[in-house]
Amino acid sequence: MPRSFRSHRRGDILIGQRIRLFRHASGISAEEMARVSGLDIGEYASCELGEARFKTAELYEIGKALKVRLTDIVGVIGSTVD
């Protein structure tokens, strides 16, 4: 597997983990997050698991629902992916 693909995949997994942590802390269900992000539950679950990638607009809506900044969700990646 090419290095850049592994890095992107790892980044997707980290984003999903951060969202799941924020979601659990906020008491919001995966179904509700799927609704606010405009995804069906299967698509949302795949993204949260890092199997698929969230689009920026979806991350923005998720951040609003969780009452966190987009940088709170993706900011952790810069120092961990490489």
The model's pLDDT over 4-55, given as tens digits with 9 standing for 90+, comes to: 445 568 999 999 999 999 999 999 999 999 999 999 999 999 999 999 999 9
pTM above 0.85, yes or no: no
CA distances from 63 to 32, 34, 47, 74, 78 (A): 13, 12, 15, 10, 18
- Whether residue 81 is contained in a domain is answered as no
Domain that holds residue 68: 3-74
* Cβ contacts of 74 within 8 Å, gap of 6 or more: 15, 18, 59
* Assigned token pair, 63: 């951040």
Summarize pLDDT for 52-69 with one digit per residue, the tens. 999 999 999 999 999 999
| Domains held by the chain: number | 1
Instruction: Please count the CA atoms within 13 angstroms of the CA of 43 that sit on its side-chain side.
Output: 13
Task: Categorize the per-residue pLDDT at 80 as very low, low, confident or very high, splitting at 50, 70 and 90.
Answer: very low
CATH at 12? 1.10.260.40
